[in-house]
Amino acid sequence: MAHKTTLKAIAEHLNLSISTVSKALADSPEISDSTKLVVKTAARQLKYRPNAMARGLKSSRTKTLGVVIPNIMHNFFAKVIVGMEEEAAKNGYSLVTCISNESLQKEKQSINMLSDVSVDAIIISLSSETQQTEELEHLNDILYFDIPLVQFDRIHENLNSHSVVINDFKGAYDSVMHLHKTGCKNIALLSILSDTSVGKKRAQGYEAAIQELGADSKIINTKLEHLEKDLSDFLEENELDGIVTTDESSAIYAMNALRLNKRAVPEDVGVIGFTDGALARNYFPALTTVKQQAEIIGKRTIQLAIESIESKTKLEPVQEVIETELVIRNSTSPVQQK
């Protein structure tokens, strides 16, 4: 258990009164801006947090779990929350869910709020900005105060916490191999997740399959709002008869772009996406997709969080890898018989 930094400790460190330190941290107008800056800097360096975050002062649990996700509009995260809610309720816990909207600052604010309301554990899928900057201090602070932390989907290996991921590498690898079996020779990876851990793993799986086939690597890194133009530009100068996308939305956008460029799916180009959501099932043609087992991920993260909360000793971090499933639909041609 980490030693709790008190207001008294900060005051002694700075040779100030406890009252001055308390007022500075509360932004009292009685305290000058220069003193506030000095106090807040020292508080940060000494890892001072309100009592709610210092676990040693808690005499009872709140039976509440904090969850931070990067995007609620993504079908995958919505399904994860469904799995979490079901497992949490079964064990007598409630969820407080926050959305970072891919922002590091909002992620930090969410973590601080969840800490202040004394959740028993924090579960997080990192924002894209966190993964790009690799700024982890706000998460290491959680671990410093022995608050259980469980990462899922988008994770950072340097955080000493439990994590739950899918086999992103194999999902992409299997997608390329399936397209190859349908007769595709020129297969591209279309990624809007290149700065995230899942995007990097999927790119590695794609590259491994392409190398094994002796084919040329074709990677298109883009943003969703630029995808249709970038894919159209790529089609003007490149042969393409298969696309693996890193998520469901980009697969739908890709099929729209192909249609605008007079390419039929799957007759001219086969398309595979990740996430088996309502769009995948109901679009025309229905999308072949890598099923990410979202609800299983949600349940398992809750189980790991509760195990950490209720364990009498500190558990060694584990990473659980959940296997994917390729769901074959009409956006890919039938496998060619040899």
pLDDT at 2: 54
In a domain, 269, yes or no: yes
104 and 157 inside one domain: yes
* Bridge partners (DSSP) listed for residue 219: 189
178 and 137 inside one domain: no
Indicate the pLDDT class of residue 50, thresholds 50, 70 and 90: low
pLDDT tens for residues 144-173? 888 899 999 999 999 999 999 999 999 999
pLDDT at 56: 41
Task: Compute the mean pLDDT over every residue in the chain, rounded to the nearest whole number.
Answer: 92
CA 336 to chain centre: 36
Q: Which two tokens stand for residue 17?
A: 């009164």
The one-letter amino acid at 290? V
121 and 196 inside one domain: no
110 and 191 inside one domain: no
Indicate the pLDDT class of residue 19, thresholds 50, 70 and 90: confident
In a domain, 58, yes or no: no
pLDDT at 63: 92
CA within 13 Å, CB half, 106:
16
Bridge-based pairing state of the strands 325-327 and 288-291: antiparallel
In a domain, 338, yes or no: no
Number of helices followed by number of strands (H, E) in the chain: 13, 12
pLDDT at 141: 85
**CB 228 within 8 Å of CB 257:** yes
98 and 147 inside one domain: yes
39 and 75 inside one domain: no
What's the CA gap between 273 and 291, in Å, rounded? 9
Q: Is pLDDT larger for residue 233 or for residue 28?
A: 233
CA 321 to chain centre: 14
| pLDDT at residue 72 is higher than 90 | no
Q: Which two tokens stand for residue 6?
A: 């008190």
pLDDT at 226: 97
Domain of residue 21 covers 7-48
End-to-end CA distance of the chain: 62
In a domain, 159, yes or no: yes
SS3 content of the chain, % helix, strand, coil (to 5): 45, 15, 40
What's the CA gap between 296 and 302, in Å, rounded? 10
Q: What is the DSSP string of 32-73?
A: -HHHHHHHHHHHHHTT---GGG-GGG-SS---EEEEEES-SS
pLDDT at 127: 97
Indicate the pLDDT class of residue 51, thresholds 50, 70 and 90: low
What's the CA gap between 137 and 329, in Å, rounded? 44
In a domain, 336, yes or no: no
- The H-or-E segment that residue 294 falls in is helix 294-310
72 and 111 inside one domain: yes
Cβ neighbours of residue 197 closer than 8 Å, sequence gap 6 or more: 126, 131, 154, 155, 156
For residue 141, report the phi and psi dihedrals to the nearest 5 degrees.
Answer: -65, -40
The mean pLDDT of 187-214, rounded to a whole number, is: 97
182 and 274 inside one domain: yes
In a domain, 54, yes or no: no
Alpha helices per DSSP H over 51-148: 75-90, 104-116, 128-133, 137-144
Bridge-based pairing state of the strands 149-152 and 121-124: parallel
Number of domains in the chain: 3
CA 145, 149, 154, 158 torsion-angle sign: positive
In a domain, 211, yes or no: yes
What's the CA gap between 25 and 190, in Å, rounded? 48
**CB 205 within 8 Å of CB 171:** yes
pLDDT at 312: 80
**CB 138 within 8 Å of CB 46:** no
CATH of the domain at 185: 3.40.50.2300
In a domain, 328, yes or no: no
DSSP letter for 261, please.
Answer: T
212 and 272 inside one domain: yes
| pLDDT at residue 53 is higher than 80 | no
Long-range Cβ contacts of 34-39 (<8 Å, 24+ apart): 38/14, 39/10, 39/14
69 and 96 inside one domain: yes
pLDDT tens for residues 294-313? 999 999 999 999 999 999 88
pLDDT at 117: 82
| pLDDT at residue 55 is higher than 50 | no
227 and 133 inside one domain: no
44 and 83 inside one domain: no
